[in-house]
């Protein structure tokens, strides 16, 4: 049985709703004049939509094993926050597709299959492993985000 029964006392999670309107031409070159960084950021966005969906799935699989009420409440807020992030990336990715980045769809579908396979290959009792993956993915996303 898990020892995940604690939550840092100084963390109060709050759900932020994110809404962004932007011109499609700006979105296609949002690090103008650096096209390489722009394209890298576009790839990151397609990845993050999929990764955040995987994170939600992994955390939901672990939820029944969490006994700490405060941690359970924070998990609910975290899941809502991740869903909001995913929706923002989905909207941005739609802008990319509308701007002519047709390969975004294929790349996104490939990543969805990869992460779905990863999530389904884990046994229910492997929820701690899934949570370690979540921590890793969140760390990578945060590190990449700091570049921008």
Q: What angle do CA 22, 13, 147 make, to 5 degrees?
A: 45
How many helices (H) and strands (E) the chain has is answered by 5, 0
Query: Could you give the C-alpha distances from 148 to 19, 106, 145, in angstroms and in order?
Result: 18, 25, 5
* Number of C-beta neighbours around residue 146 at 10 A: 7
- Enter the DSSP assignment of 122: S
Tokens of 48: 């993050």
Tokens (6 digits) for 100: 């002519």
Per-residue pLDDT of the chain (148 residues; tens, 9 = 90+): 445 444 555 556 565 555 555 454 555 556 767 778 877 877 788 888 888 888 888 888 888 888 888 888 888 888 988 888 888 888 888 887 887 777 777 777 888 888 777 777 666 667 788 888 888 888 888 887 777 6
Please give the angle made by the CA atoms of 60, 89 and 13, to the nearest 5 degrees.
50
Would you tell me how many other CB atoms lie within 10 Å of the CB of residue 18? Answer: 11
Judging by beta carbons within 10 Å of its beta carbon (0-12, 13-18, 19+), is residue 65 exposed, middle or buried?
Answer: middle
Expressed in angstroms, the distance from the first to the final Cα of the chain is: 40
């Amino acid at each position: 049985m898990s020892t995940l029964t604690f939550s840092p006392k100084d963390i109060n999670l709050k759900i932020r709703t994110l809404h962004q309107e932007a011109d499609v031409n700006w979105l296609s070159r949002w690090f103008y004049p650096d096209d390489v960084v722009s394209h890298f950021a576009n790839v990151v966005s397609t990845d993050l939509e999929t990764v955040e969906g995987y994170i939600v799935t992994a955390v939901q699989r672990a939820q029944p094993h969490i006994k700490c009420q405060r941690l359970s409440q924070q998990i609910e807020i975290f899941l809502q926050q991740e869903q909001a992030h995913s929706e923002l990336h989905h909207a941005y990715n739609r802008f990319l597709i509308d701007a002519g980045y047709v390969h975004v769809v294929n790349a996104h579908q490939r990543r969805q299959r990869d992460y779905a396979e990863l999530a389904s290959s884990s046994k229910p009792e492997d929820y701690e492993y899934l949570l370690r993956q979540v921590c890793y993915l969140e760390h990578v996303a945060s590190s990449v985000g700091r570049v921008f």
